[in-house]
């Protein structure tokens, strides 16, 4: 078994009501792989970085068992950079800077081993780049999961729809599900999105939890109510990484396993937001993760006595 994650490896700079992060590492593939690595250990990344990205941070990923040989370093290039400021409620943010840098010319080339990955996670990237990855796979992965965002729906809907045809599971937020489907009801939105290709849909609702749709099956998991959300950056990618990590570890993508995977993803995301950037993910151990999963069980479990 093996998991290929394609996405960004980047620099972020975050301003929150609790302080400023300075320049730290971020990116969808960074968060997703560090999250998945808490559960599963045959992970490789395909991404692009500039000369300025510290080797020590790649080493940190490798120490977690992540194969970074598919991360292409562009000599003389600069790494993708995002700077944002969160407001008091931590639910809204302003982008202060987006510098695509080397990401603007990202033309992914998959190492031979990556082409045979059994599980593929396509992080939020230009649909054309996501398609290039799919076309290089020498065998159909057991499960292809993909993230995207409203931006691509606005400027590249035809290309996005082409990619969707090849995808098993799509992760988007509620507003994006409404935009993609043209339906306000999330139940109807899911039905419409199923006609576009995906057989599974995860609607991420941030602090309001996540919904998993598959045919007529439906599962909901809440986000863990927290005393303090310190930095929500990367929570969605961390969720997706934990989700696919559990699927890979189980080597099964039945609906029952996907339910567990949603809980893993939610638990990992709840750690992610407790510190700046990837800090908490890097430090996390298995027993902390298991304790937090128990809190999800406590939060949602009930014995029904029909009255």
Contact residues: its own copies, CB under 8 A: 39, 88-90, 184-188, 205, 208-209, 211, 218-222, 225-229, 246, 249-250, 256, 259-260, 262-264, 290, 293, 297-300, 302-307
> What's the order of all strands across the beta sheet hosting 93-99?
19-26, 10-16, 81-86, 93-99
Other Cβ atoms within 10 Å of 272 Cβ, number: 30
> What is the distance between the alpha carbons of residues 49 and 165, in angstroms, rounded to a whole number?
29
* Smallest gap from residue 85 Cβ to its own copies (A): 16
CB of 185 to its own copies, least distance (A): 6
Pairwise CA distance, residues 125 & 148, whole Å: 7
Q: Give the other-Cβ count within 10 Å of 24's Cβ.
A: 17
Dihedral of the alpha carbons of 201, 9, 261, 217, in degrees to the nearest 10? 0
Return d(Cα 133, Cα 30) in angstroms, integer: 18
For residues 71 and 46, the answer to whether their CB atoms sit within 8 Å is yes
Q: Pick between residue 97 and residue 297 the one whose CB is nearest to its own copies.
A: 297
Closest distance of CB 36 from its own copies, Å: 11
In the complex, minimum distance from the CB of residue 133 to its own copies, in angstroms, rounded to a whole number: 26
Query: In 10 A of CB 87, how many CB atoms?
Result: 12
Task: Rank residues 16 and 101 by Cβ distance to its own copies and give the closer one.
Answer: 16
Q: How far is the CB of 296 from its own copies (least distance, A)?
A: 8
Considering beta carbons, is residue 102 or 269 the nearer one to its own copies?
269
For its own copies, the closer CB: 73 or 253: 253
Residue 84 CB, shortest distance to its own copies, in Å, is 18
Q: Judged by CB, which is closer to its own copies: 116, or 220? A: 220
- Of 80 and 119, nearer to its own copies (C-beta) is 119
């Amino acid at each position: 078994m093996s998991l290929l994650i394609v996405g960004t490896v980047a620099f972020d700079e975050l301003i929150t009501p609790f302080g400023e992060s300075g320049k730290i590492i971020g990116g969808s593939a960074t968060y997703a792989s560090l999250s998945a690595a808490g559960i599963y250990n045959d992970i490789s990344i395909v991404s692009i970085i500039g000369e300025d990205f510290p080797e020590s941070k790649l080493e940190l990923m490798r120490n977690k068992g992540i194969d970074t040989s598919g991360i292409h370093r562009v000599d003389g290039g600069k790494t993708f950079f995002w700077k944002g400021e969160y407001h008091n409620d931590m639910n809204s943010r302003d982008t202060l800077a987006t510098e695509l840098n080397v990401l603007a010319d990202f033309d992914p080339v998959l190492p031979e081993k990556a082409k045979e990955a059994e599980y593929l996670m396509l992080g939020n990237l230009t649909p054309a780049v996501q398609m290039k990855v799919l076309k290089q796979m020498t065998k159909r992965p057991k499960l292809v999961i993909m993230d995207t965002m409203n931006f691509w729906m606005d400027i590249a809907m035809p290309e996005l729809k082409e990619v969707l045809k090849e995808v098993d599971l799509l992760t988007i937020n509620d507003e994006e599900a409404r935009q993609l489907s043209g339906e306000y009801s999330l139940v109807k939105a899911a039905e419409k999105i199923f006609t576009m290709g995906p057989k599974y849909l995860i609607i991420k609702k941030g602090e309001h939890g996540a919904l998993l749709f598959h045919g007529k099956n439906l599962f909901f998991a809440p986000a863990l109510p927290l005393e303090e959300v310190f930095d929500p950056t990367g929570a969605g990618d961390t969720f997706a990484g934990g989700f696919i990590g559990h699927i890979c570890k189980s080597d099964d993508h039945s609906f029952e396993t996907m339910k567990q995977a949603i809980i893993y993803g939610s638990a990992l995301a709840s750690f992610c937001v407790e510190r700046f950037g990837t800090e908490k993910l890097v430090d996390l151990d298995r027993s902390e993760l298991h304790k937090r999963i128990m809190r999800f069980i406590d939060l949602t479990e009930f014995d029904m006595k029909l009255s």
